[in-house]
Chain A
Amino acid sequence: MKARIFFLISILVVGGLLWSGLQAVHPFGLPNGTPMDDYFIANAQGEAAANNVVTSIVFDYRGFDTLGEGAVLFTAVISVAALFRKRGHN
C-alpha cells in the first residue's frame, strides 16, 4: 500500500513536471529556431579552418559525441570477439 502511494505521488510529480515543460515548447507546426544553424554557417569555416562544415561540427563542436561513437564501435568489436571466440583454445 505504501509503495502504491509512493508510485502514485511520483507519477503525479513527474507528470506535472513534464506537463509544465511541454508548455514552453513552441507551437506544433511552426519552424524551429535557427540561431545555432546560422552560427555554424557563419563562423564554422573561420573558427575551425575546415571547408567541410559537417566534419567541423562532428569532430570539433560535437567532438564528445564522436568519442561516444568510437567507444560504441570499440564495445561492439569486443562483444563480437567475446561471442565468437574459439572454445578450448588459449
Chain B
Amino acid sequence: MNPLSVVARTVCNLFAWFLAIFGIYVIVHGHLTPGGGFQGGAVVATFMAFLLVAHGGEKMQSWVRKDLFTLMECFGLTLFISAGLLGMSKTFFFNFLAKAGGVFGGVLPIGPNAGALNTSGTIALMNLSVGIEVVGGLSMILLYMFSAAHPQEPMGREESGHDR
C-alpha cells in the first residue's frame, strides 16, 4: 500500500500522539474510571494502525522493532501472572497490596468520593501489565497482517510533489 498524501500523513502524525496519550490515560485510570488494560491497550494500538495506514508498511517496518513488541507482550503477561502469584499466601490473585500503604496501597473512604490514583492494590498493577501486553500484542498483529497483505511493496513510491 502506498503512503497517503502529505495532508493525511501530517494529520495522522499529529493525532496518533493524542490517541496514544488517551490510551495511556485509560490504562492508568483503570481502577477509577470506565475502561482498563484491555480497552486502553486497544486504543494505544491504534497509534500503530494510524501510522501504518498513513506511511505504508515499508517505512513502518524500518521505523519500529518487532522484538520490542514481543518483549512488551511477554513482559506484560509475566507481570500479570507474578502479581497473581505474589498473593499466594492467601489465595491465587489475592489483592495483597490493597490498603497496605506504599505506592498502590492508599485507603479509600466508603461511598461516593473523588478517588485517588494510588489506591486499589494489585488492580492498578494488573491494569498496567495487561495494558502493556495488549499494546504489544495488537501492534504485533497489525504489523504481521500488514506485511502479509502487501508482501512486495515498491520502494520510493511516496508522493513527493507537494513536499518541497
User: How would residues 36 to 61 of chain B score, 1 for a CB under 8 Å from any chain A CB and 0 otherwise?
Assistant: 10100000000000000000000000
Shortest CB distance B42–A (Å)? 10
Partner pick for B120 among A48, A58, A64, A86, CB 8 A cutoff:
A48
| A81–B140 alpha-carbon span in the complex (Å) | 8
- The size bracket of the interface on B is 35 or more
- Give chain A's interface residues, CB within 8 Å of chain B: 45-52, 54-56, 58-60, 63-64, 66-67, 69-71, 73-74, 76-77, 80-81, 83-86
Contacts of B108 in A (CB 8 A): 45, 49-51
| A51–B140 alpha-carbon span in the complex (Å) | 33
User: In the complex, which residue of chain B has the Cβ closest to the Cβ of A62?
Assistant: B93
Known: A49-B119, A49-B120. A66 touches B126 (CB 8 A): yes
**Chain B residues numbered 1-57 whose CB sits less than 8 Å from any CB in chain A:** 30-34, 36, 38
- Would A64 and B98 count as touching, CB distance under 8 A? no
- Would A74 and B77 count as touching, CB distance under 8 A? yes
